[in-house]
A = this chain, B = another copy of it.
Amino acid sequence: MTDQTITAAIVIIGNEILSGRTQDANLAYLATGLGEIGIKLVETRVIRDDEAAIVATVNELRARVTYVFTTGGIGPTHDDITSECVAKAFGVRLRLDPEAVRVLQAHYPPGFLNEARLRMAHVPDGATLVENPVSRAPGFQMENVFVLAGVPLVMRAMFDGIKGKLRHGAPVLSRSVTCALGEGAIAKDLTAIQARFPDIEIGSYPYFRAGGFGVSLVSRGTDAGRLAEVTEELKAMIRNLGGDPREEQAA
């Protein structure tokens, strides 16, 4: 609801996520980081290591958002096909990048930079490298598409490195109020408050914990003053309905 014109989408590439073998750990990190610099994440897709799927997804999303971030599929093995698929999506060929070769040559002992590892020095024609301070093999940026590693430690280091280059929006701030009331008890009054604060996005998230059930009301927006106002209204609503509002550390 806030006026955020800088948008992003994430494409998580990997059969291992869709088989349930691996729990994705990249979405939450990227989502949090993008929110901090005021970029609105509008969609995330998890797709298979499949050329048609990667090409179509990258092309659809890069036309729709300011930035696309892909994770996964840039290693040296047969199932690492992201780089050639992104080249196909842009209609360009893969080229061997001399700087990437230099980085890999410096990293591996003599004789270890074999043909498979050299695949990691290929980027689409027109791309620039994204540094990998962890395991060296770089990612790349092709226009508004950032191609990052899938291993979380590497992905995070790559993203932290490019974050400062991205266009920033107004940072999204959030405040969270929790109470032990049911969602159904607060829904009507909450709808009325949301209607009075169209510039604030209020999310209602029920929880079931060992200590009982309740709901967290998370307000997000770019104006700290408006967030303070809506938080006071939410607390008053909860007290009015017999609850005990607690402000939580918002995320």
Contacts and interface: CB of A to CB of B under 8 A. Distances in A.
A153 interface: yes
A76 B183 contact: yes
Contact of A153 (B135, B203, B208): B208
Interface in A163-181: 172, 174
A190 B18 contact: no
Nearest to A33: B20
A240 interface: no
Contact of A27 (B28, B46, B115, B187): B46
Contacts of A48: 42-43
A251 to B, nearest CB: 4
B41 A19 contact: yes
Interface residues of A, number: 71
Contacts of A77: 183, 186-187, 190-191, 204
B18 A42 contact: yes
Interface string A109-153: 000101111011000000000000011000000000000000101
A206 B172 CA distance: 35
A27 B24 contact: yes
The quantity of this chain's copies bound in the complex is 2
Contacts of A184: 76, 108, 112, 114, 116-117, 120
B17 A31 contact: yes
A65 interface: no
Interface in A191-222: 191, 194, 201-208, 218, 220
Contacts of A186: 77
A29 B208 CA distance: 18
Interface of A: 14-24, 27-35, 41-49, 53, 75-80, 108, 112, 114-117, 119-120, 134-135, 151, 153, 172, 174, 183-188, 190-191, 194, 201-208, 218, 220, 250-251
- A-B pairs, top 5 by smallest CB distance, nearest first, are A116-B187, A20-B32, A20-B31, A117-B184, A77-B204
Given A23-B28, A112-B185, 6 more contacts: A43-B46, A43-B53, A77-B186, A77-B191, A78-B204, A116-B184
